[in-house]
Structure 1
């Protein structure tokens, strides 16, 4: 073998085995097009976006160590980074998210959060990023609808779109996000019903949908999400009864349904469930408080205020392990307040504005 052939062979071998040294020009061009759609006047976070290698000290950009493809965009308007501390302020950015972001085909996480002024829509093409695991756009002014085919992101574990101006419905395809663990759509203008196929989200542990315009019933299928520990559907327009099955969920610890139009009776299953924070206030729940408290009943918070509950406070409530904050005010309860060791710290406001409750901490029963 001649020396020339050997050198050519070594060069080819080297080019295959050695990682590239800089990000591809296509990724750099996509980032610069993304940057062109945004305006950040105060901190100068884009000043580092210079040079040919977008993997080298470009603020908020991380690349895969082997392929040098852009893997993460992490831009937060509230950060402990020195650039924020030096300016003594949080960030403010305007503009919109360019569809050019979708040309970064190897993206694993997109965090463009808490900039307060970013508007426009979520580029529909975001659903075409096969490796995306985190999409966090909280705290902006983003409008429009959640992309209808969001369910194509089968690796997505975090979807956080809270505190924006999103409208439209929750797309049915969202239930196809088989890896989703954290869903936060709070404080938008989302309407429509909760899709019936929501129970397919078997990996989800937190589901936060409060502060929207969601109406209709609470789907029974939510109880199929056996990993769910935190469910917040408060401040919506939900109607109908609370499914009994919610109280049978194995790890559900927080259930917030306050500020809806929920009716029907209070399910007995909620009283001795795993739930420790239960807020059902400001609804139209009627009937008696179930007399099923026992040693499994442990509540950091139990708020049943501003409903249509009647009858007496069940005597079995004295056998609960603990109730830290109890609010039964603004109902139609009557009779003597049972004595319980942990009732000693409760104030009169917990029982006021009922029909005829009496006993400590209210006036004595005659």
Structure 2
């Protein structure tokens, strides 16, 4: 009996040792990935030696139960680098060998500044991928057209690259997506009309691209959405009024587009909206007189539009307004007295047709 127990413990130890070591196929895929990149200053890949990629390979973690690679986390801007006074710099491209790591849940290769080439199309074959973060490189080409296959993806961040082409229609199939950042690229075409299918999304940042078309009304169906930034594109049409009825939306940036029509009453009467920037569009009509004691705006920027009429007196009832900019419109009449106007500068009201009163030098 004692011999049997000892034999069982020996087998268990051997098994644990085996599953904690790197599989040869994963090690080969990692080394192929490494061969496509050059990092000359930090020596990041110096630790990628030996047979076991699960032990002390910088940025690589494995599942302890089977020794398969789960995470690759390589950040060019991190606390560790900041302490050394260095910033990451890496050249090369992302090898399709990454797609052989079919147990990968996290792929972060971020802020290396000069990694170029395309996102491997086969990335969409990784069934367990939850985080894809490639921000801050010089990636070109388009987003994989079948990116919707990554149904477990919660984070998609490819900001600050040079990506072109459309936002793939299949993106609406990312049913688990919570954070979307496509900002600062050269994406073109229209946003998918049914983008509202992304019910789990809390942040959608698609600013500084070349998107055209209208703002899909279905965005208002994303009830968890807190931050929406579509600024600095070429969007046209009116602002969907239903955006103002979104329950948790706190930041709405639509500035620097070609939007027209009136500002929806619902936007300015939504007590949950904290940052609203609609500047540099072609919005016209009157400013809705709908501010109440529940209005709280740290930023309300409506400058560089075609707004007319008087400044609503109800603005003085707002609980808080930090930065207010109504400059470069066609507003007329006297600037209301009291808060928040008593702490604003003249630049907030410059270049209107006939505004008068403090802080302008024009007497009513």
TM-score, scaled relative to structure 2: 0.95
Give the drift of 1:142.
Answer: 0.3
Question: 1:1-366 maps to which residues of 2 (within 5 A)?
Answer: 20-81=19-80, 85-86=83-84, 88-273=85-270, 274-363=272-361, 365-366=363-364
Aligned residues, how many?
362
Partner deviation per Cα, 1:302-350 (whole Å, 9 max, x = no partner) = 0000000001111221212111110000000000111232221101111
Shift of 1:11: 7.2
Q: Distance in 2 between matches of 1:220 and 1:145?
A: 25
Q: Which runs of 5+ in 2 are unaligned?
A: none
1:360 Cα deviation (Å)? 1.2
Residues in 2 aligned to 1:249 and 1:155: alpha-carbon distance in whole angstroms: 25
The answer (yes or no) to whether the contact 1:20–1:68 under 8 Å persists in 2 is yes
Cα distance in 2 for partners of 1:33, 1:262 equals 47
Once superposed, what is the RMSD of the aligned Cα atoms?
Answer: 1.9
SS in 1 for 2:236: strand
Task: Provide the rounded CA distance (Å) in 2 between the counterparts of 1:10 and 1:308.
Answer: 80
Residue 19 of structure 1 contacts residue 66 of structure 1 at CA under 8 Å; is this kept in 2? no
Q: Deviations over 1:38-65 (max 9, x none)?
A: 1111111111100000001001101111
C-alpha contact (below 8 Å) 1:304/1:328 kept by paired residues: yes
Stretches of structure 1 that go unaligned for 5 or more consecutive residues are none
TM-score between the two structures when normalised by the length of structure 1: 0.95
Residue-by-residue CA offset, 1:4-29 (whole Å, 9 max, x unaligned): x9999887777667762311000000
C-alpha separation between the residues in 2 aligned to 1:172 and 1:6?
59
Q: Runs (4+) of structure 1 moved beyond 6 Å?
A: 5-18
Three-state SS of the structure 1 residue aligned to 2:282 is: coil
In 1, the alpha carbon distance for the partners of 2:265 and 2:221 equals: 19
